[in-house]
Chains A and B, each alone.
Chain A
């Protein structure tokens, strides 16, 4: 019924990660609300689009991080950053500002740099998540990391992974990015020790190559 969106039949197929078919799920959920947290997402139709409803309790979540699939039981309110750090021990992304202001938790989602503290884990499903942990080239540092080492662009190092990931995002998008474009790409990241001079030099090193 149109005025009861929660019971409206979805018109498009939804790729439901829960492993429970939508029809079964709807049947179950009408019988027992308590089953919802365990059995996953519910799909409703809103503004002409199918929308998944999660929670309020723990719900199955599948994430692809650095090419590896992880299946977790999470409350829908859990952010991607805490999922990485507290559930999976992937701790390169740091928790600093709690509200998308400092860039220390920067990760790539489908190649786009995002603040992992401003993304819910459930939102990151079905996407490719890349963290600082996968940026090494085997045992070797990648050229951005090497430029940070060469120019002493880290002190305490807490902000550094965020800067390196944001830097990579700029170059992934445009390998010929100029220093100003890279600085723009790093303007959402903050350092407290004051390593910006080293970062400026690292940018110079990365943009002088081949000249």
Chain B
């Protein structure tokens, strides 16, 4: 069998080096094309009429004036009369017109009357006694969950755990199919256990099952010290710079061609097939570049379906619907909030002995999942309860490392407060408890030492509130994190042509994470040719399928499938070339653009000469990575990383303004393909961390139920001048490289928020409970300590 294993360190010429991303030149020169840049011939412009109410029943829709308007080519009702809009901005009607301003005018001519209903847009702590145990789902519950875009995995899990309160029949299943339920959801409904309804209406507050392990009561009774606190993070938006959207056109009556801004090129056709009434094989999906996704762009969204339907009605002309910035911020993705009241029990030496938490948060109409707390530290005795708030702020979507940053803020905050109560350096408390962090404990130990060194932790650290001068308080904070990151399913076709040219085709996408660069490095390394010699084609369903880019699964997936394809193609080449070199195929190697006999450089052909031996037809090899490790022989990817984040901040105690002065990230991710783009992932993650720690919040207006800051002035992102010295250290070499490739998109974004929050507490001597750490909250926290001190 060919040797697919990654080359060892002394045989790597490209893998693990700092290589500039291959698509940088087209991006810096404005030549990179994105979905928003695609302009089909005779393209029509789609616009969407959205609900002004957070919750309202649609009573009537009159589109007649819009339909009569010159320039309007098609009108599509997205939610029909009788449906309930579930958030302000929910899609009601879409129109397509010859230009954007005509489409906007047409939307204004549509008359919709609503019956406003009571709504909830708060995610404040549930009132005492509020909430009901999560019970079996009624027909309405399931209908709501589907129309509210509850993520499939969440709905399936809920159905499996809680069952249904009615007898499922084919009519119901067929209705749900019509509503857009996936096969997975339909199967889960079909197989859900029947339970008697528990009664009690539809509370916005859903208590998930309490979890207890060990003996928390005993742990707290015997604790030498107990620390209590309140921690959390607000709902934030993805705010992709390229908004969600697509351009769809019917190339004939049975074939749809969709350009879409997506993290999931190979997965979109299957989602569009059902609503479009054609087979997935008749749908082509294309995307060259994507202007940000961060977890929010896996689906064919309602507006994408609407654009394709408008196109059909308009005789197949391309119809573009790209969201406006306000819509993007209102409806196209939000990271759930998570807040918790936490009690931690410990010994005087800092050994953690118990955890209690009451947490809550919202992911919009679906309620949202519970954060995995306590995070990383497997505290032996614990009791935790979580209440999911179902409200009308719009649907949640995966956001880099779903639930982990929130869990880090809660857990690392609670441990930091405990350290302060014990007068311990938190670094010592973390080190003291590494035994309960699981299989990555030795990695954390090594990383904490490196991070502390890079931060100058031991020299700089002072106990809380003891580094203040001239109204400026300075402090340090830290956090650790973990993630999986195993490679996803991926197929790669690599072709060597008789003229020596090489092309690779793969239905993946590059989110700006360096996927293209990863693929060509692996292929070039394997074939011994320069990366420029490889033509890479991605972003189309014409190419072999590769998984969606989520959960840090792409590097492992694409590098493994590419390695296998390249090795197989190389084997075929060796077989064709061997006679010309009077050698056995097994004796050949590809080095420096030559094919030569190992240990005998006198017997070699340059790459072009070697490829001319292939014959008339090119050689294509298909490489496959299976997401199930045991199905790969050998397995080239792996799962499970640990990382450390540290922050050094300054707080102006007069204004409450926080300035991050320095951040350090130390991260492992197995075998690194391109060190340069890997480091960039960490730098970028720290910037996003500063942004969500200090500025970002989806602010909802309780009075109107609408988002108050759906623009980039008041939905503030960190700017160039908010960014301090950033230091990244990637763990490489022995103990890391041989693990195989592991993804890096999620892990480094987890710790920055928690590290900054802890640094602020260290600086000002008191905990600011909730992110974002805005000046008003800092000043409120400071005034409490002053009162307490007075």
Report A's interface with B, CB cutoff 8 A.
75, 77-78, 82, 85-86, 89, 91-99, 101-102, 104, 131-133, 135-136, 141, 145, 148-150, 152-161, 164, 183, 186-187, 189-200
Contacts and interface: CB of A to CB of B under 8 A. Distances in A.
Nearest to A91: B37
A101 B34 contact: no
B773 to A, nearest CB: 18
Interface in B240-264: 240-243
Given A154-B512, A192-B239, A194-B685, A86 B39 contact: yes
A193 B685 CA distance: 8
A131 B39 CA distance: 19
A75 B101 CA distance: 9
Nearest to A99: B711
B30 A152 contact: no
Contact of B713 (A101, A104, A149): A101
A105 to B, nearest CB: 11
Q: What 3 pairs across the A-B complex have the smallest Cβ distances?
A: A92-B30, A194-B687, A158-B291
Contact of B28 (A77, A101, A148, A191): A148
A155 B684 contact: yes
Contact of B29 (A102, A136, A153): A136
A97 B24 contact: no
Contact of A150 (B20, B99, B711): B20
Contacts of A189: 719-720
Interface of B: 20-21, 23-25, 27-34, 36-37, 39, 99-101, 239-243, 289-292, 294, 322, 324-326, 511-513, 676-677, 679-680, 683-688, 691, 711-713, 717-721, 723, 726
Contacts of A148: 24, 28
Contacts of B36: 91, 94-95
Contact of B291 (A132, A141, A157): A157
Given A91-B37, A190-B717, A133 B680 contact: no
Please report whether the interface of chain A is mostly helix, strand, loop or mixed according to DSSP.
loop
Contact of B513 (A104, A155, A191): A155
Nearest to A144: B28
B713 A200 contact: no
A156 B512 contact: yes
B680 A155 contact: yes
A120 to B, nearest CB: 12
Given A156-B291, A156-B512, A98 B326 contact: yes
Given A192-B294, A192-B688, 16 more contacts: A75-B99, A85-B39, A89-B39, A92-B30, A95-B322, A96-B242, A98-B325, A152-B21, A154-B27, A156-B292, A157-B512, A186-B720, A191-B687, A191-B720, A192-B292, A196-B718
A99 B325 contact: yes
From A92, A93, A194, name the one whose CB has the most chain B CB atoms within 10 angstroms. Answer: A194
Nearest to A148: B28
A116 to B, nearest CB: 12
A194 B28 contact: no
Contacts of A152: 20-21, 24, 676-677, 679-680
A199 B687 CA distance: 12
A89 B39 CA distance: 7
A136 B33 CA distance: 17
Contacts of B100: 82, 86
Contacts of B322: 95
Given A96-B242, A197-B726, A145 B685 contact: no
Contacts of A159: 241
A132 B713 contact: no
A205 to B, nearest CB: 13
A136 to B, nearest CB: 5
A88 to B, nearest CB: 10
A198 B726 CA distance: 10
A164 B677 contact: no
A34 B726 CA distance: 62
B685 A158 contact: no
Nearest to A100: B713
Given A78-B101, A141-B28, A154-B512, A183 B20 contact: no
